[in-house]
């Protein structure tokens, strides 16, 4: 048959019926970030939970101030402060059960501490002393992740594996707005949704990725909207409202535990301090913007709710502040001691089987240290 004859025989028909594979409407985030504090919804919040959140955010604020001071004194190499973001940090830790796992980024020391990790041990990595510093298995907290978004596929892998094994485990992974531009973010969300893995992704949209504002990061209507493209629900929440973040994350954790799959939560917040002690934020943002966010402070929002409704008295607030001071004093005391470190530990716990290159470097360092020691004794 010639080509012309074939064309003549071709009878076009309508394509098989098409319909969206999932209805996108229920996946869409609300038009406004969800709020509890200062609204009618606060009346339904458990007073004990509000007091717990308050104690933790006060502790967190003091931790940030102390760790930042330690960088200025040269006792801590770097500290990415979460001042202004304490509500997200604390709510993330408190939304999980003991059997769950937390996957933090470098900015999430407070979440790690709120989950039960020793406040001093949580700073080991940022001091440059050693590997993670804490035992990830003890409180089910993965190492603070410096390579952006790499913690997300880890969280999905762990959650999916747990589900295959029949273990009741939910993973909550934290990431910044800048991290949402990473390939790892895309891969993690895609796998999580396809596998219906029990994962909750918490994006803390704090306005900046170092000096890059959100407007230069994405053209999406909101970061929560990104969820729809992967086929999971997106939720938008006021990231400075600890009660709201706690409620949204608790719902998402419950949904994941019940087999409903992953959720992407965007918490709208603001990074009050510079990116780290190595950054000068005045070079890329104005004081008026920072001041506006100081007026929507996570610690003050909780304090106003609790005092306004008579749920806390001055004695209890003083006790919380005192506990924070004790914690800060302990941080100072430990960080002012010089650690005794073995440089050879650099090579430990990197690979189960070290690579030939690592073995070579290990031998070089060993020889250097031995030569130094010999020089020292000869002198
Ligand atoms: C894979 C990778 N690329 C680049 C960097 C350098 N870096 C460190 S922090 C940062 C900005 C991240 O911003 P965001 O995700 O919004 O988190 P935030 O610091 O605001 O909490 C960048 C680009 C990195 N750590 N990892």
Q: How far apart are CA 253 and CA 243, in angstroms?
A: 15
Q: Which atom of ligand 1 is nearest to the CA of 105?
A: 21
The answer on 270 and 138 residing in a single domain is: yes
CB atoms within 10 A of CB 133: 19
Confidence at residue 116, expressed as pLDDT on a 0 to 100 scale: 98
- Which atom of ligand 1 sits closest to the CA of residue 149? 1
Which pLDDT value is given to residue 137?
A: 97
Instruction: Check whether residue 314 and residue 369 sit in a common domain.
Output: no
Residues with CB under 6 A from ligand 1: 107, 146-148, 176-179, 206, 208-210, 271, 275
Q: Are 158 and 170 in contact (CB under 8 A)?
A: no
Confidence of residue 9 (pLDDT cuts 50, 70, 90): confident
Q: Which atom of ligand 1 is nearest to the CA of 180?
A: 15
Q: What is the pLDDT of residues 13-64, one digit of tens each?
A: 999 999 888 899 999 999 999 999 999 999 999 999 999 999 999 999 999 9
Same domain membership, residue 327 and residue 301: yes
Residue 340 has a pLDDT of 87
pLDDT greater at residue 334 or residue 128: 334
Is residue 11 in a domain?
A: no
pLDDT, residue 5, reads: 66
* Domain match, 329 and 348 both: no
In a domain, 13, yes or no: no
With a CB cutoff of 8 Å and minimum separation 6, the contacts of 119 are 63, 113, 327, 330, 331
pLDDT at residue 206, as a whole number? 98
**What pLDDT digit, counting tens, does each position of 240-262 carry?**
999 999 999 999 999 999 999 99
For residue 143, the CA-to-ligand 1 centroid distance in Å is: 16
Strands 199-205 and 263-268: parallel
Residue 129: its pLDDT value, please?
Answer: 84
Q: Which CATH number is 98's domain given?
A: 3.40.50.970
Q: Look at residue 18 and tell me if it is in a domain.
A: no
| C-alpha of residue 225 to centroid of ligand 1, in Å | 21
Least confident segment among 7-11, 195-199, 275-279, 367-371 = 7-11
Do 225 and 349 lie in one domain? The reply is no
Q: How many whole angstroms from 183 Cα to the centroid of ligand 1?
A: 13
pLDDT in tens, 112-150: 999 999 999 999 999 988 888 899 999 999 999 999 999
- Atom 13 in ligand 1: residue holding the nearest Cα: 209
| Pocket residue to mutate for ligand 1, from 177, 178, 183, most atoms within 8 A of Cβ | 178
Domain limit, last residue, from 335, 353, 370:
335
Spatial distance between the Cα atoms of 107 and 60, rounded to a whole number of angstroms:
12
Catalytic positions are 271, 275, 284
Q: How high is the pLDDT of residue 4? A: 65
- 271 domain residue, yes or no: yes
Note whether 234 and 302 are same-domain residues: yes
- Asked if the structure places residue 363 within a domain, the reply is yes
Query: Is 20 within the bounds of a domain?
Result: no
Counting atoms of ligand 1 from 1, which one is nearest the CA of 209?
13
Say if residue 81 is in the same domain as residue 215. Answer: yes
For residue 1, what pLDDT is reported?
63
Please check the confidence at residue 6 and state whether its pLDDT lies above 90.
no
Residues 166 and 213 in one domain: yes
**Domain housing 94:** 25-335
Rounded to an integer, the average pLDDT of 292-307 is 98
Distance from the alpha carbon of residue 239 to the mean position of ligand 1, in angstroms: 19
Choose the residue to mutate in 104, 111, 207, 209 for probing ligand 1, maximizing ligand atoms within 8 Å of C-beta. 209
H or E element: which one contains 16?
Answer: none
Rounded Cα distance, 358 and 197, in Å: 35
106 pLDDT band, cuts 50/70/90, is: very high
Strand ranges (E), 97-198:
101-103, 171-176
Ligand 1 atom, smallest distance to 150 CA = 1
Question: What does the DSSP 8-state code read for residue 142?
Answer: P
Q: Which of 108, 176, 239 to mutate to test the pocket of ligand 1 (most atoms within 8 A of CB)?
A: 176
Same domain, residue pair 351 and 254: no
The tally of domains found in the chain comes to: 2
User: Are both 96 and 55 inside the same structural domain?
Assistant: yes
Instruction: Kindly state whether residue 55 falls inside one of the protein's structural domains.
Output: yes
DSSP β-ladder status, 171-176 and 199-205: parallel
Distance, CA 351 to ligand 1 centroid (Å)? 25
**Whether residues 286 and 351 fall in one domain:** no
In a domain, 16, yes or no: no
Q: Are residues 266 and 350 in the same domain?
A: no
Give the pLDDT confidence score for residue 210 in this predicted structure.
98
Averaged pLDDT score across all residues of the chain:
95
């Amino acid at each position: 048959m010639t080509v012309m004859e074939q064309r003549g025989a071709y009878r076009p028909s309508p394509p098989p019926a098409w319909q969206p594979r999932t209805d996108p409407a229920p996946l869409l985030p609300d038009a406004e970030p969800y709020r509890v504090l200062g609204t009618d919804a606060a009346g339904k919040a458990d007073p004990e939970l509000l007091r717990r959140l308050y104690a933790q955010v006060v502790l967190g604020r003091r931790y940030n101030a102390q760790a930042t001071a330690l960088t200025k004194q040269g006792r801590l190499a770097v500290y990415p402060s979460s001042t202004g973001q304490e509500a997200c940090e604390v709510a993330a830790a408190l939304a999980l059960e003991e059997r769950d796992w937390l996957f933090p980024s470098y900015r999430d020391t407070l979440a790690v501490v709120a989950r039960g990790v020793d406040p001093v041990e949580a700073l080991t990595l940022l001091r440059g002393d050693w590997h993670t510093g804490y035992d990830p298995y003890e409180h089910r907290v993965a190492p603070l992740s410096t390579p952006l978004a790499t913690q997300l596929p880890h969280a999905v892998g762990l959650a999916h594996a747990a589900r295959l094994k029949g273990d009741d485990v939910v993973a909550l992974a934290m990431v910044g707005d800048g991290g949402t531009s990473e390939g790892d973010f895309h891969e993690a969300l895609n796998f999580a949704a396809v596998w219906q893995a029990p994962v909750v992704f918490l994006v803390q949209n704090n306005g900046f990725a170092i000096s890059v504002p959100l407007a230069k990061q994405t053209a999406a209507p909101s970061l929560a909207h990104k969820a729809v493209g992967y086929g999971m629900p997106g939720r938008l929440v006021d990231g400075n409202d600890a009660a709201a973040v706690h409620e949204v994350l608790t719902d998402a954790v419950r949904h994941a535990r019940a087999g409903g799959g992953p959720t992407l939560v965007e918490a709208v917040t603001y990074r009050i301090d510079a990116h780290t002690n190595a950054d000068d934020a005045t070079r890329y943002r104005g004081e008026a913007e920072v001041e506006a966010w100081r007026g929507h402070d996570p610690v003050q929002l909780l304090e106003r709710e609790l005092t306004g409704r008579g749920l806390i008295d001055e004695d209890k607030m003083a006790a919380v502040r005192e506990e924070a001071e004790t914690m800060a004093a302990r941080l100072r005391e430990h960080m002012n001691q010089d650690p005794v470190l073995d440089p050879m530990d650099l090579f430990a716990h990197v690979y189960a089987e070290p690579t030939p290159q690592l073995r070579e470097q290990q031998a070089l360092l060993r020889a250097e240290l031995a030569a130094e020691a010999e020089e020292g004794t000869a002198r």
